[in-house]
């Protein structure tokens, strides 16, 4: 190397070393949110409120929002592969139920391990309710900050129920599975081409099948996916009843749109069915109200305040639900996590905690009210959310905090798909489920009832 080249090289090294502190830190944040598309409110909040305020308060830090427009399962896939190779966004939206399997796989580290012990000094922790803290907690460590929780219910099209002659269509409240089926049959009799009921099934909808479909029926039989001793229930009357309910809806009486359960974009089709009045009863989380159907969204229901109602999800028979309940529901929760391989852990934590300060969360509530995790953030002026959360949160259940849950959930989705496609009988589907789950968790961790 000539002297001149050497001088140049040293000069460059020196210059970059000096310039180091001046260089901006680039942060990336990802969520399954697209302005004008899925979870538009979240995207709008981050883009218009969080980023400008954070950048103003932290000169030298650039933040970029990746708007991920695919399905939940695809984001999970991308995050898992990114985190396993040390790539990916610095901060990411994350569904709490995935934390155990990611942590056990070495793909997530606790917040204090990533960003240092000062994480534990954050004032926000004191303002999170215990229930919401648990959403992002695994083995007594925080892996993210929870944003909020949710509840599930039956959404009704009051106009269609009234047209079909269902009594008290405005305040309709079924007390058993038969009540639901009867209402659906009445609608079907009036409109033979319609698919009155939507209970999610199939592989394409991913966790939405398990959470908004299978669980809601299974809890109504008095069972859960795991028993009280923590063993996975692989064969039981409750599973069979649940699968038979699917069969009644999708195969025997065609009360539901089986195509929407099988197609890749089926969940959107189910939303469109409800919007277009093809479906009158749809089981979903409050997400459906706050994020899918507001005015201006793709699946906005015209005249929503008058035509859309909600009802509690009944057990199979009164008193037959989990813990002897008449009505059942289940909650999950989402939040944001830190990438364990982030180049700028301090700044990433600064962003994460900044988003979860009351000032930012209130800005979020102004865009899209939801059930918040923080107790010091004003309850949104939304009669719907207040009413549903007060009624349903006392009845709610949570998914097992278990690293195998995700894999078992995939088997549940397959089991429902094989029934609604008419490929297997409920008995055969359950036998296959038993075999598959036994392989995942080991025979000693399963039980047949």
Q: Which residues bind another protein (CB under 8 A)?
A: 73, 77, 80-81, 84, 98, 101-102, 104-107, 203-204, 259, 262-264, 403-404, 406-407, 410, 414, 417-418, 421, 423, 432, 435, 439
Q: Which is nearer to another protein, 235 or 421 (by Cβ)? A: 421
Output the six-digit token pair for 33: 């949110």
**At 309, is the secondary structure helix, strand, or coil?**
strand
Q: Which is nearer to another protein, 162 or 407 (by Cβ)? A: 407
Which of 9, 103, 18, 41 is CA-nearest to residue 382? 41
Cross-strand bridge partners of residue 448: 235
Report CA-CA distances (Å) from 297 to 36, 195, 361, 375. Answer: 7, 22, 22, 29
Q: Which is nearer to another protein, 71 or 223 (by Cβ)? A: 71
Q: Which is nearer to another protein, 130 or 193 (by Cβ)? A: 193
Q: Which is nearer to another protein, 46 or 205 (by Cβ)? A: 205
Judge whether 27 and 91 are in contact, CB under 8 Å: yes
**Min separation Cβ 150 and another protein, Å:** 23
**Min separation Cβ 71 and another protein, Å:** 11
SS3 content of the chain, % helix, strand, coil (to 5): 50, 15, 35
CA Rg value for the chain: 24
Maximum separation of any 2 CA atoms in the chain, in Å: 93
Which of 185, 183, 165 is CA-nearest to residue 174? 183
Residue with tokens 């229901």: 301
**Min separation Cβ 251 and another protein, Å:** 13
Q: Which is nearer to another protein, 100 or 148 (by Cβ)? A: 100
Q: Which is nearer to another protein, 358 or 400 (by Cβ)? A: 400
Q: How many other CB atoms sit within 10 Å of the CB of residue 357?
A: 18
Q: Which is nearer to another protein, 175 or 438 (by Cβ)? A: 438
Q: Using CA atoms, how far apart are residues 26 and 31, in angstroms rounded to an integer? A: 17
Q: Using CA atoms, how far apart are residues 281 and 249, in angstroms rounded to an integer? A: 12
Output the six-digit token pair for 377: 């953030």
Q: Using CA atoms, how far apart are residues 389 and 198, in angstroms rounded to an integer? A: 22
Q: Which is nearer to another protein, 347 or 404 (by Cβ)? A: 404
**Min separation Cβ 400 and another protein, Å:** 13
Query: ∠204-189-413 over CA atoms, to 5°?
Result: 15
CA 263 to chain centre: 20
**Min separation Cβ 260 and another protein, Å:** 11
**Min separation Cβ 144 and another protein, Å:** 16
């Amino acid at each position: 190397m000539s002297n001149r080249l050497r001088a140049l090289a040293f000069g460059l090294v020196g210059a970059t070393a000096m310039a180091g502190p001046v260089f901006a830190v680039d942060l990336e944040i990802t969520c399954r949110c697209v302005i004008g598309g899925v979870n538009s409110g979240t995207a709008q909040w981050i883009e218009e409120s969080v980023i400008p305020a954070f950048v103003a308060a932290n000169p030298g830090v650039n933040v970029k929002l990746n708007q991920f427009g695919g399905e939940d399962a695809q984001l999970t896939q991308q995050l898992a592969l990114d985190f396993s190779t040390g790539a990916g966004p610095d901060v990411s939206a994350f569904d709490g139920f995935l934390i155990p399997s990611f942590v056990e796989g070495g793909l997530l580290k606790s917040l204090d391990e990533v960003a240092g012990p000062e994480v534990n000094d954050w004032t926000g922790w004191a303002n999170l309710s215990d229930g919401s803290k648990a959403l992002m907690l695994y083995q007594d460590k925080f892996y993210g900050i929870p944003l909020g929780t949710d509840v599930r219910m039956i959404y009704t099209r009051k106009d269609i129920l009234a047209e079909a002659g269902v009594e008290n269509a405005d305040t309709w409240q079924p007390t058993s599975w038969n009540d639901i089926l009867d209402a659906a049959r009445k609608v079907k009799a009036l409109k033979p081409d319609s698919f009155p009921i939507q209970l999610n099934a199939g592989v394409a909808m991913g966790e939405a099948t398990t959470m908004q479909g299978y669980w809601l029926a299974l809890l109504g039989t008095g069972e859960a996916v795991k028993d009280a001793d923590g063993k996975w229930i692989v064969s039981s009357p409750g599973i069979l009843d649940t699968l038979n309910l699917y069969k009644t809806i999708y195969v025997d009486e065609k009360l539901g749109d089986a195509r929407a359960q099988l197609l890749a974009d089926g969940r959107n089709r189910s939303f469109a069915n409800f919007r277009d009045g093809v479906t009158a009863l749809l089981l979903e989380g409050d997400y459906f109200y706050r994020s899918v159907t507001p005015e201006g969204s793709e699946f906005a229901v015209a005249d929503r305040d008058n035509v859309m109602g909600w009802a509690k999800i009944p057990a199979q028979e009164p008193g037959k639900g989990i813990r002897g309940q008449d009505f059942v529901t289940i909650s999950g929760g989402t939040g944001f996590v830190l990438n364990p391989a982030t180049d700028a852990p301090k700044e990433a934590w600064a962003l994460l905690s900044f988003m979860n300060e009351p000032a930012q969360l209130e800005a979020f509530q102004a865009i899209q009210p939801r059930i918040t995790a923080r107790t010091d953030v004003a309850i949104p002026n939304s009669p719907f959310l207040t009413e549903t959360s007060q009624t349903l949160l006392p009845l709610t259940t949570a998914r097992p905090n278990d690293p195998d849950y995700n894999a078992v959930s995939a088997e549940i989705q397959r089991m429902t798909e094989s029934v609604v496609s008419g490929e297997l009988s409920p008995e055969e589907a359950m036998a296959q489920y038993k075999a598959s789950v036994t392989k995942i968790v080991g025979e000693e961790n399963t039980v047949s009832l």
